[in-house]
Amino acid sequence: MAYTVVNDLDNNIIIPKNVKGRGILLNTPNPFQTKVVEDFWDGSYFDEDFFGSDNTTQFSEVHPKTILNKVDSPDIPGGWSMNPYQGCEHGCTYCYARITHEYWGYSAGTDFEKNILVKKNAPALLKKKLKSRSWNGETIVLSGNTDCYQPAEKTYGITRELLQICLDHNQSVSLITKNALVCRDIDILEQLAAKNLVHVHLSITTLDEELRRAMEPRTSSAGNRLKTIQKLSKHNIPTHVMLAPIIPGLNSDEIFGICEAVSQAGAVSLDHSMVRLNGVIALLFEDWIQATFPLKASRVMHLIAEAQGGKLSNSTFGERMSGVGVLAESINQQVRLAKQKYHLTAKPKPLKTPMYKTDTSAQLHLF
């Protein structure tokens, strides 16, 4: 296995070469551990091709005590999120959720992509919560720190079980994914949609397949995501688009093209956010872009900082999603104009939460 050792702040970081099918090249040290075991895969799979192939992604079953997480951020609508997996094999190089893997004892780098934690007791935990008298039926978001339709879902089917439970309990749910695997569950989604209990948000970052394969190596292709919008819309399942993140100098020139494509596919609304590189993600992303797009790396990093008030990291509520400054406002204005031009200004219809019920005795207080 070929690798190079560099020194960063007196920590040895091993950089694997030719890591095809993975997003990040670094496996940064976990700040909560004094010893780190380095382990790398040198495979060659992209997109859906690796589903039936052997790869060294490790899956570990964990048994959390709760499955719903309270979301207190004013930037994110929805009060609860649910993550059937921890870590994500999609390998998106910019992913803000990478940092959360450190709390499980892993690195935010390659570990996040190749050490996936599977919450097999998630359905049981959800059933228990929905039957609780303290639960009032707020919309649940799938997911916040992972993609609920990442490759592991094809094997484990936990997301499908969770959706079935939501249907059985008239529980509203909002999905966000980059993966066309969501179409597998159209039978359940269609029933949820008939009761106005579901939204599906397709995340699309680029239509450039070369860029997507480098930046989001194990996601569905842009073409398949557009087909997903068409298919879901055909089944009357409310489907919205997340143009996120917009990375100045990398995909910011695709705003009008993406809006036109998703509009033609059947989407009626679109939201967007600017990239932000908090904590170790800035180190990971800079290493990746220097190795992948060396001629534009410096310019892109400077533009990202310019759009976030002069720094790569921005955790300020009200700023971090939209960015700040002239460049960010220019990009935001382009999105507004593109949405108007391609009829993507509709707001998602509020989901019907009052339909929630557990059992007859538990509902007497509603009358």
Among the ranges 15-19, 90-94, 355-359, which has the highest mean pLDDT value?
90-94
Position 321 confidence tier, pLDDT thresholds 50, 70, 90: confident
Classify residue 71 by its DSSP letter: -
Q: How confident is the model at residue 77 (pLDDT cuts 50, 70, 90)?
A: low
- Round to the nearest angstrom and report the end-to-end CA distance of the chain: 67
Per mean pLDDT, which of 65-69, 317-321, 352-356 is the most reliable? 65-69
Q: What is the pLDDT, as a whole number, of residue 16?
A: 43
Q: Are 31 and 102 in contact (CB under 8 A)?
A: yes
Task: For 80-128, give the DSSP string.
Answer: EEE-SEES-TT--TT-GGGGGGGGGTS-SSHHHHHEEEEETTHHHHHHH
* Mean pLDDT within 128-153: 93
Q: pLDDT tens digit string along 177-202?
A: 999 999 999 999 999 999 999 999 99
Distance CA 112, CA 77 (A): 25
Q: What is the mean pLDDT of residues 311-334?
A: 88
Could you give the CA distance from residue 121 to residue 66 in angstroms, rounded to a whole number?
9
Bridge partner list, 236: none
Reported as half-sphere exposure (CB side, CA atoms, 13 A), residue 350 has a value of 5
**Rounded distance between C-alpha atoms, residue 213 and residue 211, angstroms:** 6
Q: And the tokens for 246?
A: 């917009």
pLDDT at 25 (0 to 100): 73
Q: 82-98, pLDDT tens digit by residue? A: 999 999 999 999 999 99
Q: What is the mean pLDDT of residues 113-127?
A: 97
In the chain, % of residues over pLDDT 70: 81
Taking the C-alpha atoms of residue 220 and residue 204, their distance in angstroms, rounded to an integer, is 10
Structure tokens at 1: 């296995």
| Confidence band for 319, pLDDT divided at 50, 70 and 90 | confident
pLDDT at position 358 is 52
Span 164-179, mean pLDDT? 96
pTM of model > 0.85: no
Residue 37: band (very low, low, confident or very high) from pLDDT cuts 50, 70, 90 = very low
Residue 75's pLDDT is 65
- Alpha carbons 53 and 122: distance in angstroms, whole number: 27
pLDDT of 51 reads 42
pLDDT at res. 22? 74
Assess contact for 266 and 233: CB atoms under 8 A. yes
The pLDDT score that the predictor gives to residue 225 is 94
The answer to whether residue 55 scores a pLDDT higher than 80 is no
b/e for 279-300, b at 16 or more Cβ within 10 A?
Answer: bbbbbbbbbbbeeebeeebeeb
Residue 46 has pLDDT above 90, yes or no: no
pLDDT of residue 144: 86
Lowest mean pLDDT among 11-20, 105-114, 192-201, 293-302: 11-20
| Cα dist from 357 to 116, 124, 170, 362, whole Å | 33, 17, 7, 8
Mean pLDDT of the chain: 85
Collect all residues with Cβ–Cβ distance below 8 Å to 8 and sequence separation of at least 6.
283
Name beta bridge partners: 61.
Answer: 118
What mean pLDDT comes out for the span 105-120?
Answer: 95
| Beta-strand pair 140-142/80-82 | parallel
| Pairwise pLDDT comparison (240 vs 4), residue with the higher score | 240
* Topology classification of domain 3-349: TIM Barrel (3.20.20)
Nearest in space to 334 (alpha carbons), one of 218, 251, 277, 262: 251
